[in-house]
Amino acid sequence: MKKYFSERYDELVPYVPGEQPQDRSYVKLNTNESPFPPSSSVTEAVRLESQKLNLYSDPESLELRKQFAAVFGVDKDEVIMVNGSDEVLNFAFMAFADEKRPLAFPDITYGFYPVFAKLNRIPYTEIPVKDDLSIDVNDYIGIYKTVVIANPNAPTGLFLSLDSIEKIVASNPNNVVIVDEAYIDFGGQSAISLIRKYDNLLVTGTFSKSRSMAGARLGFGIANKELIGNLNTIRYSTNPYNVNRMTSAAGIAALRDNDYYMDNCKTIIANRAWTTDALSALGFEVLDSKANFVFARTDKLSGEQLYLNLKENGVLVRHFKLDRIKDYNRITIGTLDQMKTLIEKTKLILEGK
Ligand code: PMP
């Protein structure tokens, strides 16, 4: 109904999250969650903290930032904690992009970027990725725009080297370059090491993937203190208590258990290699992923048909109807058992059984 809805949002087409069906249990490989539960100290920290829910959370997330800074080798004032990294992306668009500093991002990338751009009425250019779906770094050199790059990119999983990222950052000194590292822990190299060298670099990340906390909503931004200050101006102007008590306690405990999560990443990387080989053996083309998912297509069946048949067989993957990638499916890497089920079902579907 449009009667009361502001015309400001006439152009807005909301983001469509991956399915979270409640009707039956699926082998759920569609929203890049971790298949591993949080560590036991995280669940215990949440239980204890829940007894203090009558009190507001710390708007500065001080303890969390201190713990975070120690693990990530940055200063606590170089960090902002947020309600899922989607929130810091929105804050960053609000803070660092406008008519004079329009946005630029690849045409094939995280679907929330155009949504946040439209929500904030920021003009944007979608720069086509190459035929092999990789990003051409030259397209971003000195473009006088606020650049957003997911690295590894989604849904392709393709990774840009730190050298390439540095070239983009160095060549756009009057604009902020946002590097969205939601999937960095699965084999990529982080750009965090560059934040002291470049005052226009913002790195964003999340506890949703490698740290098994998608349901808790915890994300972060890392940049020099000035950019973090700008982001806090936006945060305090929207939702100062954006990180709730239980999520904050969970985050602190997860950071203390960092080895557990980094070991899980190694397992995911191994399972990704296994899945890539198994899909390739079935005739799939599988992009070289550095994320906790693979992007794969086959000539034998359309992307949509495979998605539908897998769903009928109790396996959920993610299909995008976008023209350039409609032949593909994005398949989250889960446990080896889950991946074996995916391969078994896919084989039967291809055999027409
Ligand atoms: N960036 C990318 C590239 C993503 O795929 C996602 C997950 N959908 C996010 C950011 C946001 O993740 P979250 O809000 O759960 O931290």
Rounded to whole angstroms, the Cα distance separating 161 from 149 reads 12
Q: Does 133 score more than 80 pLDDT? A: yes
Identify the CATH number of the domain defined by range 40-256: 3.40.640.10
Check residue 23 and give its pLDDT: 77
Quick: pLDDT tens for 144-173. Answer: 999 999 999 999 999 999 999 999 999 999
Report how far ligand 1's centroid is from the alpha carbon of 87 (Å): 9
Q: Are 58 and 273 in contact, with CB atoms under 8 Å apart?
A: no
Check residue 58 and give its pLDDT: 98
Atom of ligand 1 nearest to the CA of 207: 16
Q: Which fold has domain 19-37+259-350?
A: Aspartate Aminotransferase, domain 1 (3.90.1150)
Q: Where are the domains of the chain?
A: 19-37+259-350, 40-256
Q: Using a 6 Å cutoff on CB, does residue 332 contact ligand 1?
A: no
Orientation angle between helical segments 112-119 and 85-96, nearest 10 degrees: 50
Q: Write the burial class of residue 147 (CB in 10 Å: 0-12 exposed, 13-18 middle, 19+ buried).
A: buried
Quick: pLDDT tens for 179-209. Answer: 999 999 999 999 999 999 999 999 999 999 9
Average pLDDT, rounded, for the chain: 97
Strands 146-150 and 124-127: unpaired
Confidence band, pLDDT 50/70/90 cuts, at residue 353: confident
Dihedral (CA of 184, 186, 189, 193) sign: positive
Check residue 18 and give its pLDDT: 86
Phi first, then psi: what are they for 253, rounded to 5°?
A: -65, -40
Q: Does 115 score more than 80 pLDDT? A: yes
Q: Does 210 score more than 90 pLDDT? A: yes
Q: How is the beta sheet containing 285-286 ordered, strand by strand?
A: 285-286, 293-297, 328-332
Q: For residue 346, what is the DSSP state?
A: H
Check residue 19 and give its pLDDT: 85
Q: Using a 6 Å cutoff on CB, does residue 154 contact ligand 1?
A: yes
Q: Which of 58, 38, 20 is nearest to 260 (CA)?
A: 38
Q: What's the mean pLDDT in 326-338?
A: 98
Report how far ligand 1's centroid is from the alpha carbon of 92 (Å): 14
Rounded to whole angstroms, the Cα distance separating 33 from 306 reads 21
Confidence band, pLDDT 50/70/90 cuts, at residue 24: confident
Q: Are 46 and 250 in contact, with CB atoms under 8 Å apart?
A: yes
Q: How is the beta sheet containing 103-106 ordered, strand by strand?
A: 79-82, 219-222, 201-206, 177-180, 146-150, 103-106, 124-127
Report how far ligand 1's centroid is from the alpha carbon of 175 (Å): 22
Three-state DSSP state, 280: helix
Q: Does 1 score more than 70 pLDDT? A: no
Per the confidence metrics, is the pTM higher than 0.85?
A: yes
Quick: pLDDT tens for 57-83. Answer: 999 999 999 999 999 999 999 999 999
Please tell me if the domain spanning 19-37+259-350 has the same topology as the one spanning 40-256.
Answer: no
Torsion angle of C-alpha atoms 99, 107, 92, 289, degrees rounded to 10: -160
Q: Does 270 score more than 70 pLDDT? A: yes
Check residue 21 and give its pLDDT: 85
